[in-house]
Amino acid sequence: MAKLDVRVFPLENQPENSTKAFASVTIEDLVAIKGIRIVEGSKGHFVTMPQSKDKDGNFHDIAFPVTGDLRKAMNKAILDEFKEVTKSAEKSADKTADKAPDKTAGKAPDKTAGKSTAIKETHDDPEM
Protein backbone atom coordinates (compact mmCIF):
# COMPACT_ATOMS: atom_id res chain seq x y z
CA MET A 1 0.00 0.00 0.00
CA ALA A 2 1.90 3.06 -1.27
CA LYS A 3 1.11 6.46 0.20
CA LEU A 4 1.15 9.09 -2.55
CA ASP A 5 1.21 12.82 -1.86
CA VAL A 6 0.19 14.58 -5.09
CA ARG A 7 0.51 18.28 -5.94
CA VAL A 8 -0.76 19.71 -9.23
CA PHE A 9 0.17 23.08 -10.72
CA PRO A 10 -2.12 23.95 -13.67
CA LEU A 11 -0.93 26.20 -16.47
CA GLU A 12 -3.52 28.83 -17.28
CA ASN A 13 -4.12 30.95 -20.39
CA GLN A 14 -2.09 28.64 -22.64
CA PRO A 15 -4.69 27.02 -24.93
CA GLU A 16 -2.21 26.26 -27.73
CA ASN A 17 0.10 24.31 -25.42
CA SER A 18 -0.57 20.57 -25.01
CA THR A 19 0.98 20.61 -21.50
CA LYS A 20 -1.89 21.54 -19.19
CA ALA A 21 -0.18 21.19 -15.79
CA PHE A 22 2.88 20.07 -13.89
CA ALA A 23 2.74 17.74 -10.91
CA SER A 24 4.93 16.35 -8.19
CA VAL A 25 4.45 13.11 -6.27
CA THR A 26 5.99 12.07 -2.97
CA ILE A 27 5.96 8.30 -2.42
CA GLU A 28 5.77 7.03 1.18
CA ASP A 29 7.37 10.28 2.43
CA LEU A 30 10.65 8.86 1.09
CA VAL A 31 11.04 9.84 -2.57
CA ALA A 32 9.75 12.86 -4.49
CA ILE A 33 9.36 13.05 -8.25
CA LYS A 34 9.00 16.54 -9.72
CA GLY A 35 8.56 17.70 -13.29
CA ILE A 36 5.71 15.32 -14.10
CA ARG A 37 3.58 16.73 -16.93
CA ILE A 38 -0.14 16.40 -17.57
CA VAL A 39 -0.64 16.53 -21.32
CA GLU A 40 -3.79 16.82 -23.41
CA GLY A 41 -3.80 14.28 -26.22
CA SER A 42 -6.33 13.26 -28.85
CA LYS A 43 -7.77 10.62 -26.46
CA GLY A 44 -7.78 12.82 -23.34
CA HIS A 45 -5.29 13.75 -20.65
CA PHE A 46 -2.29 11.58 -19.84
CA VAL A 47 0.75 11.72 -17.56
CA THR A 48 4.39 11.89 -18.67
CA MET A 49 7.30 11.41 -16.33
CA PRO A 50 10.25 13.83 -16.22
CA GLN A 51 12.50 13.38 -19.24
CA SER A 52 15.92 14.34 -20.54
CA LYS A 53 17.04 14.59 -24.15
CA ASP A 54 20.13 12.72 -25.35
CA LYS A 55 22.62 13.92 -27.97
CA ASP A 56 20.59 12.22 -30.73
CA GLY A 57 17.41 14.10 -29.76
CA ASN A 58 15.70 11.10 -28.15
CA PHE A 59 13.85 11.55 -24.85
CA HIS A 60 14.31 9.22 -21.87
CA ASP A 61 12.43 9.13 -18.56
CA ILE A 62 14.76 10.10 -15.73
CA ALA A 63 12.41 9.01 -12.92
CA PHE A 64 9.59 6.53 -13.22
CA PRO A 65 7.59 3.90 -11.33
CA VAL A 66 9.22 0.49 -11.60
CA THR A 67 6.03 -1.58 -11.35
CA GLY A 68 2.91 -1.36 -13.47
CA ASP A 69 0.74 -1.21 -10.35
CA LEU A 70 2.57 1.83 -9.00
CA ARG A 71 2.40 3.51 -12.42
CA LYS A 72 -1.38 2.98 -12.55
CA ALA A 73 -1.81 4.28 -9.00
CA MET A 74 0.32 7.37 -9.72
CA ASN A 75 -1.42 8.13 -13.01
CA LYS A 76 -4.85 7.82 -11.40
CA ALA A 77 -3.90 9.96 -8.39
CA ILE A 78 -2.35 12.67 -10.60
CA LEU A 79 -5.24 12.81 -13.07
CA ASP A 80 -7.84 12.76 -10.27
CA GLU A 81 -6.09 15.67 -8.56
CA PHE A 82 -5.80 17.54 -11.88
CA LYS A 83 -9.56 17.20 -12.43
CA GLU A 84 -10.25 18.40 -8.88
CA VAL A 85 -7.91 21.40 -9.17
CA THR A 86 -9.29 22.49 -12.53
CA LYS A 87 -12.87 22.05 -11.32
CA SER A 88 -12.10 24.18 -8.23
CA ALA A 89 -10.43 26.84 -10.39
CA GLU A 90 -13.49 27.00 -12.69
CA LYS A 91 -15.86 27.37 -9.73
CA SER A 92 -13.66 30.09 -8.24
CA ALA A 93 -13.54 31.95 -11.56
CA ASP A 94 -17.34 31.70 -11.90
CA LYS A 95 -17.87 33.11 -8.39
CA THR A 96 -15.46 35.97 -9.05
CA ALA A 97 -17.15 36.78 -12.36
CA ASP A 98 -20.59 36.79 -10.72
CA LYS A 99 -19.56 39.16 -7.90
CA ALA A 100 -17.30 41.60 -9.73
CA PRO A 101 -18.55 44.22 -12.18
CA ASP A 102 -17.39 43.63 -15.73
CA LYS A 103 -14.39 45.94 -16.10
CA THR A 104 -13.14 44.14 -19.19
CA ALA A 105 -16.06 44.95 -21.46
CA GLY A 106 -14.64 45.96 -24.80
CA LYS A 107 -11.06 44.97 -23.86
CA ALA A 108 -9.01 42.10 -25.21
CA PRO A 109 -8.32 39.32 -22.68
CA ASP A 110 -4.99 39.51 -20.88
CA LYS A 111 -3.03 36.55 -22.24
CA THR A 112 0.00 37.21 -20.07
CA ALA A 113 -1.79 36.66 -16.77
CA GLY A 114 -1.56 33.26 -15.19
CA LYS A 115 -1.20 31.62 -11.84
CA SER A 116 -0.35 28.25 -10.43
CA THR A 117 -2.49 26.58 -7.84
CA ALA A 118 -1.08 23.96 -5.52
CA ILE A 119 -3.44 21.43 -4.00
CA LYS A 120 -2.25 18.62 -1.76
CA GLU A 121 -3.96 15.25 -1.75
CA THR A 122 -2.86 12.00 -0.20
CA HIS A 123 -3.86 8.67 -1.72
CA ASP A 124 -3.48 5.33 -0.03
CA ASP A 125 -3.63 2.51 -2.56
CA PRO A 126 -4.67 -0.75 -0.85
CA GLU A 127 -3.12 -2.83 -3.64
CA MET A 128 0.42 -1.49 -3.08
| Per-residue 3-state assignment (H helix, E strand, C coil) for 109-128 | CCCCCCCCCCEEEEEECCCC
pTM of the model: 0.70
Kindly state whether residue 116 falls inside one of the protein's structural domains: no
Kindly state whether residue 99 falls inside one of the protein's structural domains: no
Kindly state whether residue 115 falls inside one of the protein's structural domains: no
Kindly state whether residue 16 falls inside one of the protein's structural domains: yes
pLDDT of residue 114: 35
Kindly state whether residue 126 falls inside one of the protein's structural domains: no
pLDDT < 50: residue spans in the chain: 105-120
128/122 Cα distance (integer angstroms): 14
CATH number of the domain residue 69 falls in: 3.30.1120.40
Kindly state whether residue 25 falls inside one of the protein's structural domains: yes
* Domain assignment of residue 18, given as a range: 3-91
